[in-house]
Every structure is written in C-alpha cells, then in structure tokens.
Structure 1
C-alpha cells in the first residue's frame, strides 16, 4: 500500500469493538487483569497504552522499522537514545547541529562521562580521524538545522557498520514521507514529532524507530524505565496530524522551492541554504536518497542591520521558534535555536548574525512572498 494511503488510514481499522474510524483516546493509566498471571497486554500506561501503541506501530511501519516509541518531546527521545551509552563512551555527531542537542550533549551527558566530537558527517576521512576506540555511535542530522547540509546516509551507515557503530539519523525535516533512513542502513531514526509529523504547532512529541530485535528491546526498557512517554491525548493529536502528512509535505516542498528561488534572486540576500536548489553542494545526494525536499530553508542577508526591521515587519509570517507547522515561521538562530552553541563554533559553520531560518508554511505562496518582500523593502528603506 502506498504511503499516502497508510498515512490516511492510521488508526482507522484498529478499534474492533465499535469500528470507530478515529481511534479512541484511552485516558486510563491502569488496566484490569482478567485473573492472576493474565494480562490484556496493557498493565500500566507508562509501559504501554492503547492510543500510544497505535501511534508507535504507525511510525514503525512508515519508517520500515521493527519498533516505535512515542516520547513527551523530541529532546526526551534523544535523552532516551543517549541512555544506551555508558560512562566513557564517545559519539560522532553532525557538525551543524540543533542547539538543543548540543546543549544536551555538552551540559548533561558530559556530566555522566559521555563525550562527543562534531564533524561533517559527509566526510568519511573526517569521521575516521575523529573516531576513537571508545566510539559507539554516529548521530546524523540530514538535512541539518539550520544550514541544510546533506549527509550520504548509506555511505556513512556502511562505514559505521564496518566499525560496529550504531547509526542514528534525525529525520525530523524530511519525515518518512520523503526519506526513510532505516532502508538505507541506519539503526535508529528519531523525530521531533512536534514539527512536520504533528504539523499544526499544537502538540509536543518525539518519536523513535529502531531496527533489530536486541536494539529494540534495549530502547523499550529505557523508554519504560525513564518514563518520558507520550500521553493519550497527545498521541491522538499526533495521529490526527499524521493523516494529512502527505498533503502537507507536498505543499511545504512546493512553497519552499518557490521561496528559495525568490530569495536566491533577491539583491539583499547573500546565500540561500536549501537542498532543493541545484546549486546546493549535495543536491545529487539529496535527489538519490530522498523522494522530496523539506519545507524549511535558511538564508543569509548581506547586511546584519536588516535583520531587526525584517523580523519587526513580517505580518503573515510569524517571528517564532519552531518549524514544520502549517503556519509560516521565521527564526533567528544566533539568538534563539542555536544560542547555546558557543559563538566561535556557530560562526565557524556559518550560523552568524546575518542568518535567518524560515519554516515555509502552507499558505498561498504568493502571499508569503509578498509579506517577506514588503519586509525587505521596509528594511532597505530604513537603512537608506
């Protein structure tokens, strides 16, 4: 069955008693045992709950994985995965990294003796040079946030397996509709499901999908033990949002492609970061391993003084942190999403005071372009 149909049918044939097309919200935290030594399969909601189970099975199926796990946020999913590692373990991590992941690694995991090296994960020589005898895993963002760097997933997975390393891929920006890393050799996929999977800026959630019986059992133990699980109301909201993922991602991609072309031609813009542009350095890799492109892009203004008036003047586009919702949002990474990354590291990779990140929504693209064009004009007039 095609992915569009599988998405639309999430939960629709999972309730056998009433035949409810929208799977119910099971609010219960406790479940009655038929008799001593027997269980319905549900005992306590932290371990397993009916509504969450349908969501977890759905994401596992969509990502071609063996098990799915729904967490209370994307960061909770990352923390659960990082708990696979022990004191003295070392990780290789994408150089252009979401600031929250950097914060978790450097300010929390480091206290427990887990260290990380940051490297361009598309550079096998760079990965090899940073690999240590205690290296246990590679964490890849592709595309990265915010500079849209692309990693050849299959190439890195082959290298990682040769060294007995776990490969973890953050698939938040493309979702299983456009990219399925487990089919390319990855061991674990994670999502900040708050973003495109939920899609409406109304639910906080994280999702994990694993491949392999042993690894899935380890994650199931950690998920239950640490307890940062997703509640039934939010699980239902996630399923409701995912039903329209195919439609939304197609529109996000269309709008972002148009917006990238507009920005690429604008005289006030120095550079556009979007993997759908043929000028992107890894355009061919992106075309090979993914069936489409994300709705997020970044762009660098020529003059840092234009940033404040642009953010002040946009109206349809909201100046807000987050991405992947139906509404267009613009973020200033240097002082928001990536503020916890030291300035010298940010500037080294290109996250400076001239960079804006743009989550292009599903509004009519002409209206989005008109709003940003007006903001550019105001900024230009104020400078002159």
Structure 2
C-alpha cells in the first residue's frame, strides 16, 4: 500500500555527486542513511517533482530490469540538478531510448562487443599499456597518472576500435568532458555533443568512401543512415574515452590508499579479474541513474504511479549489506558478482567487456612495473570530479 505523501516524503535533496569529506570512495552519507531507513522512499527532485529514490540493491536492480520503466530523457526529471524540461536523447544515444529503437541499435552493436572479440584486443591493450609505462619510466616521477596512463590507454583503444585517428582526439576530448559534466547546462551538453557528432559525421563519409578495418567502417554496411552512424559513433566515442579512464585513475587512487590491496594484487596478478569487479562495485563511478514509470507499478510494497521518476543510486546499492558482506571494505579477494557498476537490464553497459579487458591488463601491469608507486600529494589534495556524471579524479600526482 502506498503511504500518504505527507508522511512518507523525504524532502532533503541529498547530494548524489559529493562524496563525504575525507572519504572519497564512499557514497554520500545521506544516501547511505536513506538506504538503511527506507531503500525505496518518496523523494523531492531538485525541480520540485515528487518522485522516488531507490538506494537498496534489490530495489535498484528491480527497476533496471523492468521494461515498464522508461529510459527516455524527455519523460523524466533530473535527480542531480534542476535542468528544466529535458530534451529527447540525441540520435544514437542508447541510454535515453527504449525498445524498439534501443533494441535495433543494440542488436547491431552487441555482436561487435562480445567477450571473445574484446579478449582478442588483449594483446593490443598490453602493447599500449607497456608503451605508457615505458614513457613513465623514462620521464620519472612525479607525474600525473591520469594524463600519462589512465587516459591514453582507453583513448587509444576506442580510437583504434572506431577508426578515429588518435592524433585528432584533442579535437573532441574537452567536448566529451562537457557532455559528462553535471555542471554543464542542458544547452551546453547538447552543443558539445553536436561538435563531436559533426566530427564523426565527416569520418563516416570518409569510411563510406574508403572503408578500413574498424567498427565505423563495419557499421556503414548496415541499414543505419548517416545521422544514426554519426550519433552512434559519437555515443561510443564519448563513453569509451571517459568511463574506463576514470576507473583506472580512481582505481589506482583506491589501491594506493589501501596498501594491503595494492600488495595483494602485486603478489598475485591472477586476482585481476576479482579486483576489477570489486573496484567497479566499491567505486561505482556511474553513480546515479533514473527511470520513469510508464504505468502504475508495485515495488517493495509501494505504488510508483505512472509518470513518476525514480532516482537510482547505484553507489548506495553497491554498498548494501543485504547483498554484500562488509560492503564498506575494499576487498579484491571478494566475489563481487552481481554489482551494479555496469548497470543492469537491457541498458547494461555495452562496452563492459572492453572495460574489463583494459582494467584487467593495465592495473596489474602498473603495479608490477612500479611496486613502489605512491601518491605525490596528500590524499586530501587529489582533485575529485564531484560535478560529473562519471566520478573520478581530475589528476593523480604519483611518484615512485
């Protein structure tokens, strides 16, 4: 039974982006407290919308798995900031559309991101990783690990995968950051997306005329038109540039501040698979998601009315003690299967296998090459990406 709004409403707009002072890897305290009190609660959004906040693992997972909840941006309210009425997803943005459009796009891409295909890239990831490590060793510390390691590895891989000249990446990199920044207005995000899309559109024309051995050229043989190809290419480029880079940067930060875990991975590189899954759970860099109910839906003893938005705190859900033992601890020996770091359901991260390969190769290699790696600044001086849809570090000064 739905409780009366006046009794159940939580009007405190808890921050979804700012981690507690001195605890850069933990969810905001308000979200953790809300999960323990009521994992699915009434919540007032920044724009005044009366919707819901899901913080429990089971509740978040259930919403993500239920096709009666829509991902369409224009139907929902933003849980982080008052952006006014939201625009429909740009063409090619898989995160903001439902079936059948989402199904069509995903079906064309999923076969190109299988576990087998991504593991075939392992040798190339190793080459790029060791090249970065060689450069780091030659230059010596201190240096910024983001600029010299965390960013160039996934950037070069996604550029090669799509057929984007790596030397041209600076053309669109800062626009990709604007798309993922919570500080960007909706107009700024759309403008940044349009700049990247225009670049990719020109690349698509080149691939149609002179195909090469890459994903964009491959997609020109499908029934996708130029608008769809440009949109999908833009979406994949932005996702591939930002997410894994932040996992490598923030993941290294976490390991350096948990020396027992750093040592465990150094002593046993075979822990890499478990370490990747545990870091995805523990850090949850894609911290917040949303869905809107298309019909009245019963969930956890509550009725979510059609048209109401549900804010999904993935970071709080991944620290739910009902799902994970001692969830506040970073433990790379843990079997973290079932975490929501890559999402869940039909919109689960398309590039998750690629991200796994990159992290599985890069983190053990870094630790093996530089076993004395350490922060070059105090942990509290590491600049964090609080105002971003994808959490991470702006830079990570290290030495050895």
TM range (shorter): under 0.3
When normalised by structure 1's length, the TM-score is 0.26
Structure with the largest fraction of helix = 2
Q: TM-score normalised to the size of structure 2?
A: 0.25
